Amino acid sequence: MKMKEQILHEWNHMRIYDTHTHLSASHLAARGLHDVMLYHMVISELYSAGCPDGARLPEDVTDEEAAQRIERAIPYLPCIRNTAIYRLLCRILSDLYDWNEPITLENWRELDKRIREKYNHNDPAWAEEIFRRAGVKRAVTEYCRRDKGEFDHLLQYSLEWGFFARNQWGHNDAALLELEHAWEQDEPGLPLPVTAENLHFTRKIETVQDVYEAMEHYCSRIPVNDIVSTAQHISTDIHFRAVTEEEMEEALKNRENAGERERDIYASFVFQHFLKVYQEKCSKVIFQFSFGAEPLPFETGSKLRMESVFDIADFLAKNPNMEFQAMLSSAHQNQSICTLVREFPNFSVIGFWWHNFFPSYICRILEERLDMLPLNRQITCFSDAYCADWLYTKCVLLRELLAEVLAKRVSDGRYSFEEAVEIGKELLVKTPETLLKLK
C-alpha cells in the first residue's frame, strides 16, 4: 500500500468539518441535474467554452428554465472535459448516482430522473448518506438557509448578510447599498448578490447619523448564540483609510455622482464603524472575510494588491480582541497573508477559496502553510458547495490532496508516518473545533 493510501486508511473513520458552504436546509441535496451540472464554477467554464449563459442559475429556477439551460450547456461539456471541476462533476455522478457515461442531449433526462428520485422531496436519509460518504460530520452554512432547523444535526451556521467592504461592478456606493439592504430587514437575510443591479431601498443613508442608526440595527440583530462566524468580503479595489465624520458627510452629499474617491470614503467609514460596534457586541464570534476576488459582469476574477494585504494588517492591529480569518482567492499572495498570520495571534486562514480551488494550487498552498504556520491557525476544508453533492466531491478531494502532500513529506523524511496522520487530524478536525467552536 502506498504512503498516501496508508494515511487515508488511518483517516477512514475520521469525520471532518466542511467549514464554509451555502447549503440550504430546504433542499440539502441536488434536486435535479441542474444543481450538479450547473454549479456556478461549472457555468464559468462552460461560458468560457462558448455556452451563451454566463449568469448563475436562480435557486428557485423552474423545471422549464432548468431544462433549457441544461440543453444549451450540453454541447459545450466536451470542451471542458480536461478541467479539474469537470472531473469533480463526473465523480459526483459516478459515486452518488452510478452514472459513468457522457451527458448528451439524448440521455440527460434519464440522469435527471435518477437524481430527482434520490432527492425525493428532500429525503433526510439521502442527505445524511451523502455526508456519511463524504466523511463529513457537520457543515457550516449561511444562517438564513437554516429554514426550520430540520438539518441542525448536520449544519451549523455563519452570518452572511451585510458586505460593507465589498466593491460592486458599477456601484461606487456599494457600502451604503449593503447597509440599506440590511436596515430594511428585521432579521438576517441573504446578502446582496455578487453582481447586483436595479437596487432601490426605502430607507436611505443620507447622513452620518443614518450610518450609526443602520449599523446599530444590523449588529443588534446578529444571532450571536446561533452562529460560529460572520462572513464578509474585503475588496482589494478599495483603498481603506481612517475617515472623519466631516469627510463622510461631504461625500454623502455627492452620492448621486460618486466616483472612486467617494467609494473609498463610504467603505472605509462604514467598515471602520462596523468593526467598532462588532467588537463591542460580538467579539466572541470569529470574523471571516473573503479576499482576492473582484467582480466581473457575471462572476469574479482573482485580483489582490499588495497594499490591500497591509490594509488588513491595520485592521488586525487596531482590533486585537477580534478574531479574524481569511478565505484567500489569490495564490500568489498566500505567502504574504501567511506572514501576517505569523505576526498576529488574532488572525488565521481557512481553505482554498474560489479561484484557488484547483488541485495544483491546493497542493502548493498546503505546502506553504505547512511550512509557515502553526496547525491551530489554519483550516483545510471548505467546499463552498450549494448542495451536498458538491460538498461530497470537494471534501473527498481535499482529504486526498492533504494525504498526498503529507505522504510526500513522510517519504522525504520531514515527518514520521504518525506525525503525518496526526497533523491531518489537526487540520481537518481539531482546529475547526477550536477556532470555530464546531461540535
Residues 187 and 313 in one domain: yes
- Tell me, what's the pLDDT at 168? 83
Residues 72 and 206 in one domain: no
Last residue of a domain, one of 91, 121, 151: 121
Residues 324 and 181 in one domain: yes
Domain count, the chain: 2
Give percent of the chain above pLDDT 90.
91
Whether residue 3 lies inside any domain: the answer is no
Q: Could you report the per-residue pLDDT of 121-130, keeping only the tens digit for each?
A: 999 999 999 9
Whether residue 4 lies inside any domain: the answer is no
For residue 112, give the CATH number of its domain: 1.10.2020.10
Last residue of a domain, one of 65, 98, 121: 121
Residues 398 and 271 in one domain: yes
Q: Is 90 exceeded by the pLDDT of residue 200?
A: no
Whether residue 22 lies inside any domain: the answer is no
Number of H helices, E strands in the chain: 17, 10
Whether residue 137 lies inside any domain: the answer is yes
Q: Is 70 exceeded by the pLDDT of residue 196?
A: no
- At 167, list the grid cell: 466593491
8-22, 164-178, 369-383: segment of lowest average pLDDT = 164-178
Residues 276 and 417 in one domain: yes
Q: Could you report the per-residue pLDDT of 254-308, keeping only the tens digit for each?
A: 999 999 999 999 999 999 999 999 988 887 899 999 999 998 888 889 999 989 9
- Give yes or no for a contact between 136 and 17, defined as CB atoms under 8 angstroms apart: yes
For residue 429, give the CATH number of its domain: 3.20.20.140
Q: How far is CA 291 from CA 68, 203, 235, in A?
A: 34, 29, 7
- Spell out the residues 6+ positions from residue 224 whose beta carbon is closer than 8 angstroms to its own: 281, 282, 284, 285
Q: For residues 34-53, give the mean pLDDT.
A: 98
Residues 80 and 191 in one domain: no
Residues 264 and 363 in one domain: yes
Residues 61 and 192 in one domain: no
Whether residue 17 lies inside any domain: the answer is no
- Spell out the residues 6+ positions from residue 429 whose beta carbon is closer than 8 angstroms to its own: 14, 15, 16, 17
Q: Could you report the per-residue pLDDT of 370-429, keeping only the tens digit for each?
A: 999 999 999 999 999 999 999 999 999 999 999 999 999 999 999 999 999 999 999 999
Residues 51 and 112 in one domain: yes
Residues 115 and 198 in one domain: no
Q: For residues 346-366, give the mean pLDDT.
A: 97
Last residue of a domain, one of 95, 121, 147: 121
Whether residue 254 lies inside any domain: the answer is yes
Cα torsion 260, 265, 266, 269 to 10°: value is 160
- Tell me, what's the pLDDT at 286? 96
Q: How far apart are CA 142 and CA 21, in angstroms?
A: 7
> pLDDT averaged over the chain?
95
Whether residue 8 lies inside any domain: the answer is no
- Spell out the residues 6+ positions from residue 131 whose beta carbon is closer than 8 angstroms to its own: 137, 139, 154, 388, 391
For residue 99, give its domain range: 30-121
- Tell me, what's the pLDDT at 283? 78
* Banded pLDDT at 131 (limits 50, 70, 90): very high
Whether residue 202 lies inside any domain: the answer is yes
Residues 292 and 203 in one domain: yes
pTM of the model: 0.95
> Cβ-count burial of 303 within 10 angstroms (0-12 exposed, 13-18 middle, 19+ buried)?
middle
Residues 144 and 36 in one domain: no
Q: How far is CA 109 from CA 33, 63, 113, 123, 280, in A?
A: 8, 12, 6, 21, 54
